[in-house]
Structure formats: C-alpha cells, structure tokens
C-alpha cells in the first residue's frame, strides 16, 4: 500500500528528507487530481448523479497531500466526511472512488457508504465518518491497538475545526494524552482548520481561537503549519510522523487552510464575504506550488498543460466508469450487517 503512497523518489517515511523535485511534481499532479475530481463531483451532484451529501476538499489539498505522503505500510488513516482527497491521495483508483459516490457496486465500499464513508483498508484508509467528531475516539483506539500489537505503525487522524468543539474530541484527546504518556498512543491529530464548521466560523465557535493550543489541556505537543503551502506541510509531516512513530506519543498539528468550495449542497455562503474568499484564493495551494515549481524549473508551462489534460482525462474516465458500473445487487441490501453470518435477524 504505502509504496504507491510514497512520493516518486521514495523518501516518504524516512523522516527528514523532502520529497525532491520529482516527488513534488508528483504531489502537484495529485493535488490537481483532487481539485479536478471534486469539481467533477460537483457537476455530477448538480445533475443528480450523486445523491446524499457532498463535501469537497477544494482549497485544502496541501494538507492531506503533505501528510499522506508520509504514510507507511501498516499505518492507519481515519477522517471525517470530507474524505475524497484522502482516498485519492492514498492512491485509491479514482474510478472506484467515483463509483462509490455514484452508489455503484464497483465503489470503494461497494456502493453502501457513499461520499462520507470511503474505506480502503488495504491502502490504510479506515474510513470517512459522517458524525462530526465521532471518529476521533476510534482513531485513538487504533493507535492504542497498534502499540499493543507491538508494531511501529501510527494513526493519522484528520479532524476539522468544528470537531474540536465536540465532546468526543475532548474525551478522546484526554485518553490519547494519558495513554501517550507511557508511549502507548501513536496518533497524529491533523486539524484541518478550514475556518468554518459549515457556516460557523472559528470565532463564533470558541472563545479560545488558538485551536492547536487546545491540545495543551491534554498534555499533547502541538504546532501550527501553513496548510496552503505543501512544502511547509511536508516538512512538518515528515518530522512529526517520525517523532510519533518513535515515541508512541500523540502530536497535534493545526493546518491552517481554507475551504474554497461551498460546504456542501444548499450553501449560499451567507456566512462569508466574496472578498474573503478571493483573498484566500490568492493563496490557492495548487497555484502556489505551481509557481514555486516553475520558478525552480521543476515544471514548465507545457508540462503543466500535459499534467492537467492527463488528469482531466483520468477524471473523465472515472465518471464514465462510475456511470457504467452497475448498481449493487439487490441481495447486497442484507449483507455486511454482521460479521460471520449475514442472515437478517428476525422475520419480515
């Protein structure tokens, strides 16, 4: 699994070295893939081809791209419902990710989870979860188990700024700090602070707006990173994942980022101004990386066109695949309810 998730020149996980030029170009391509995938989802959602809720990662790409580049085989990744990017960046087949959103049998979760519940445990993705904050205790439990079982794997636990106000977060962070004191809880909390819990800004959510500092209450080391700058995230992720792997202690990173897309469906964005969005758009993580790579001559304009048209093709193929994939068989309704025997309990 992790092999595919490593940057091209294979330095992920060794802790210190950056991904190198080729690695950065590869991650640039991955971020473009996430962006175009999400834009395509939005179109499919508006056409009615995707049902339920849809939450896009647009603007936040550098956060997951930077951290997931440092996933090693055996590590576990868990996140909330804004999870398409995590699946794609763990190198799940975009066609299978899209098929899940379309509710088809070739989807990552056989069409039974949808946008909010992408799972690919063979690639380290232990789920997207739909209840804000509800997955945080699970990730802490993953970390405890990984040490209990004598491995040096870690858990990367993604959570939003909104989740930091839930009871589940505070209970789980307290346990992580406690268990981590004895080196029994190797979890990296990656706070994707995109400034808004749906439409409620951080300022309107908490009187103590320094989100990273909330971890102080639980004895968990923490720092902030510019989540719009891939290289900054990569540097932080390399250092932090290695430290957590070695120490078995939790660590928290608040990645300051911005959701450029609306929250989901039916979001008229009354809670923020166009000017604010425009200001953040100037710091678009993909544009920033593109500029840097051009300046460093790691990329040329025609390579960018090539990458973008390649990604566009890939996303179109994902849509075609998803649209052509069959719906789950009717019998699937009653499977996967219980392990070790899926018979429906009770007569109908």
- Least Cα distance to 223 among 197, 193, 248, 247 occurs for 193
Rg over alpha carbons for the chain, rounded to the nearest Å, is 20
326 binds another protein (CB under 8 A): no
Binder of another protein out of 29, 70, 76, 82 (CB under 8 A): 76
Q: What are phi and psi of 256, to 5 degrees?
A: -85, 115
- Shortest distance, position 125 Cβ to another protein, whole Å: 9
Question: Closest distance between another protein and the C-beta of residue 60, in Å?
Answer: 23
- Kindly state the smallest distance separating residue 218's Cβ from another protein, in Å: 11
Size of the site for another protein (CB under 8 A): 50
Of 10-18, 55-63, 165-173, 286-294, the segment contacting another protein by CB under 8 A is 165-173
Neighbours of 246 (CB within 10 A): 13
* DSSP secondary structure code for residue 163 in this structure: G
Binding to another protein, residues 122-141 (CB under 8 A): 126-127, 129-131, 134-141
Q: Which tokens sit at 181? A: 């004191």
Among 112, 224, 292, 308, binds another protein (CB under 8 A): 112
Residue 115 within binding range of another protein, rule CB under 8 A: no
Measured from the CB atom, is 108 or 228 closer to another protein? 108
d(CA 202, CA 205): 5
The yes or no reply on residue 293 touching another protein (CB under 8 A) is no
Q: Which residues share a beta bridge with 128?
A: 79
Interface characters, 80-99, with another protein (x: CB under 8 A): --------------------
Residues 101 and 319: beta-carbon distance below 8 Å: no
The answer to whether residue 240 forms part of the interface with another protein (CB under 8 A) is no
Q: Which of 42, 109, 205, 209 binds another protein (CB under 8 A)?
A: 109
| 190 contacts another protein (rule: CB under 8 A) | no
- Helix intervals (H) in the chain: 2-5, 20-47, 61-68, 84-89, 94-101, 136-148, 167-181, 202-205, 230-247, 274-281, 285-295, 301-324
């Amino acid at each position: 699994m992790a092999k595919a998730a490593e940057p091209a020149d294979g330095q992920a996980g060794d802790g210190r070295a950056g991904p190198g030029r080729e690695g950065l170009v590869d991650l640039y391509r991955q971020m473009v893939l996430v962006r175009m995938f999400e834009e395509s989802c939005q179109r499919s959602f508006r056409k009615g081809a995707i049902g339920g809720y849809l939450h896009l990662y647009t603007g936040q790409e550098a956060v997951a791209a930077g951290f997931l580049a440092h996933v090693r085989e055996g590590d576990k990744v868990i996140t909330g419902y804004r999870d398409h990017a995590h699946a794609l960046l763990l190198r799940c087949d975009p066609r299978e990710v899209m098929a899940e959103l379309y509710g088809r049998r070739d989807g990552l979760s056989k069409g039974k989870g949808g946008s909010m519940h992408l799972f690919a445990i063979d690639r380290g993705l232990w789920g997207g979860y739909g209840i804000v904050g509800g997955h945080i205790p699970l990730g802490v439990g993953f970390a405890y188990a990984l040490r209990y079982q004598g491995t040096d794997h870690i858990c990367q636990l993604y959570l939003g700024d909104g989740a930091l106000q839930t009871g589940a977060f505070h209970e789980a962070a307290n346990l992580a700090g406690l268990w981590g004191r004895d080196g029994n809880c190797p979890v990296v909390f990656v706070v994707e602070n995109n400034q808004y819990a749906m439409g409620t800004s951080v300022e309107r959510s908490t009187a103590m707006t320094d989100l990273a500092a909330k971890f102080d209450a639980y004895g968990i080391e923490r720092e902030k990173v510019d989540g719009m700058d891939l290289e900054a995230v990569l540097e932080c992720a390399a250092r932090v994942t290695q430290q957590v792997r070695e120490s078995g202690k939790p660590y928290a990173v608040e990645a300051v980022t911005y959701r450029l897309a609306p929250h989901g469906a039916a979001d008229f964005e009354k809670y923020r101004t166009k000017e604010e969005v425009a200001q953040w758009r100037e710091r678009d993580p993909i544009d920033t990386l593109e500029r840097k790579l051009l300046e460093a001559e790691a990329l040329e304009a025609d390579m960018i066109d090539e990458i973008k048209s390649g990604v566009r093709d890939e996303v179109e193929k994902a849509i075609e695949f998803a649209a052509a994939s069959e719906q789950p068989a009717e019998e699937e309704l009653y499977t996967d309810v219980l392990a070790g025997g899926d018979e429906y309990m009770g007569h109908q």
